[in-house]
């Protein structure tokens, strides 16, 4: 009986040990599987982190490359713009210089043309004056006298108006003495002498260009002012002296 009990107890213990061993083996396997899963998860997380870091690094590389490319393009664009501005400024300067040269040449040509025209006009005027002088020099003395008479007659009304004023106001000519008038006491002779003075003055005014010739025309003493001293000079007509 005891032996059977002992064997039964042994079988029970053996079964218990087997059960405990089975449970322990299951626990150990579970822990091993859990550890393996954790390791796998950690590896997956590590791989994911590595992938994330790789992605970040790739993105940073792309951004850096883009920044470098942008900076390079900006530098190239700035260089192109600077070269374009320099070329534009040079072109404008060359065009301005060409325009200034053209304007200067045009002004010079215009000035030369005006000068040539003035020269031609002066030459024509000089030639005309020379021809007129030559024509006048070649005129017959009788024709010259006729033209002078026509000139005298054309200005006679104005001179008559002047002669109606006091004699001392005529053309700033002062008559101080007239020879050959006769006695002042005889009215008829005095009037006749005054008339001859008028005729002589008119004749002189129309025929002689210089005031000093007046005495030679009328036989009178003419008072002319001295330009330097302001004094007057008396000029006698040789004909009046001879008379």
Residue ranges making up the domain that contains 44: 1-99
Q: Among the three residues 99, 121, 154, which one is the final residue of a domain in this structure?
A: 99
C-alpha torsion sign, points 32, 33, 37, 38: negative
**Boundary residue ending a domain (99, 133, 158):** 99
Number of domains in the chain: 2
- pLDDT-above-70 percentage for the chain: 63
Same domain flag for 145 and 231: yes
- List the one residue out of 139, 142, 146, 200 whose CA is nearest residue 173: 200
For residue 66, count other CB atoms closer than 10 A to its CB.
10
Residue 111 counted as domain residue: no
Q: Does residue 50 sit within a domain?
A: yes
Residue 114 lies in a domain: no
Q: How confident is the model at residue 125 (pLDDT cuts 50, 70, 90)?
A: confident
Q: What is the CA radius of gyration of the chain?
A: 70
Residues 168 and 229 in one domain: yes
Is the pLDDT reported for residue 1 higher than 90?
no
149 found inside a domain: yes
Same domain for 94 and 150, yes or no, is: no
**Within-domain flag for 80:** yes
In a domain, 132, yes or no: no
Q: Of 162, 166, 168, nearest to 232 (Cα)?
A: 168
pLDDT in tens, 138-159: 766 777 677 777 777 777 777 6
Do 159 and 83 lie in a common domain? no
Same domain, 94 and 165: no
Q: Among residues 176, 188, 186, which one has the least CA distance to residue 221? A: 176
Kindly state whether residues 161 and 226 are assigned to the same domain.
yes
Residues 16 and 80 in one domain: yes
Residue 117 lies in a domain: no
Is residue 126 included in any domain, yes or no? Answer: no
Q: How confident is the model at residue 132 (pLDDT cuts 50, 70, 90)?
A: confident
The contacts of residue 155 (CB under 8 Å, 6+ apart) are 206
- 161 and 84 co-located in one domain: no
Interstrand relation of 232-235 and 220-225 (parallel, antiparallel or unpaired)? antiparallel
Q: What is the DSSP string of 129-166?
A: HHHHHHHHHTS-HHHHHHHHHHHHHHHHHHHHHHHTS-
Question: Does pLDDT of 193 surpass 70?
Answer: no
Does residue 70 sit in the same domain as residue 152?
no
Query: Is the predicted pLDDT of residue 189 greater than 70, yes or no?
Result: no
Q: What is the mean pLDDT of residues 3-22?
A: 82
Tens of pLDDT, residues 101-122 = 998 888 888 888 888 888 888 8
One domain for residues 94 and 4: yes
Distances (CA, A) of 134 to 91, 94, 126, 138, 148: 62, 58, 12, 6, 17
Is residue 153 located within the same domain as residue 218?
yes
Measured between alpha carbons, how far is 243 from 241 in angstroms, rounded to an integer? 5
Residue 236 has a pLDDT of 43
Same domain for 87 and 166, yes or no, is no
């Amino acid at each position: 009986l005891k032996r059977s009990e002992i064997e039964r107890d042994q079988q029970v213990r053996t079964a218990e040990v087997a059960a405990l061993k089975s449970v322990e083996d299951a626990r150990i396997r579970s822990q091993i599987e859990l550890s393996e899963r954790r390791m796998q998860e950690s590896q997956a997380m590590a791989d994911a982190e590595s992938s994330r870091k790789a992605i970040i690094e790739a993105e940073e590389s792309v951004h850096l490359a883009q920044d470098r490319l942008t900076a390079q393009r900006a530098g190239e664009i700035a260089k192109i713009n600077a070269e374009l501005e320099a070329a534009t400024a040079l072109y404008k300067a060359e065009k301005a210089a060409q325009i200034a040269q053209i304007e200067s040449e045009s002004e010079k040509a215009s000035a030369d043309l005006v000068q040539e025209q003035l020269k031609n006009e002066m030459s024509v005027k000089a030639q005309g004056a020379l021809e007129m002088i030559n024509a006048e020099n070649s005129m017959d003395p009788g024709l010259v006298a006729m033209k002078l008479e026509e000139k005298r007659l054309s200005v006679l009304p104005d001179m008559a108006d002047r002669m109606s004023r006091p004699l001392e106001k005529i053309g700033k000519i002062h008559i101080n003495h007239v020879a050959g008038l006769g006695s002042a006491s005889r009215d008829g002779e005095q009037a006749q002498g005054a008339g001859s003075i008028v005729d002589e003055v008119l004749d002189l005014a129309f025929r002689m260009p210089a005031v000093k010739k007046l005495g030679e025309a009328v036989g009178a003493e003419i008072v002319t002012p001295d330009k330097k001293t302001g004094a007057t000079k008396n000029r006698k007509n040789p004909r009046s002296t001879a008379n």
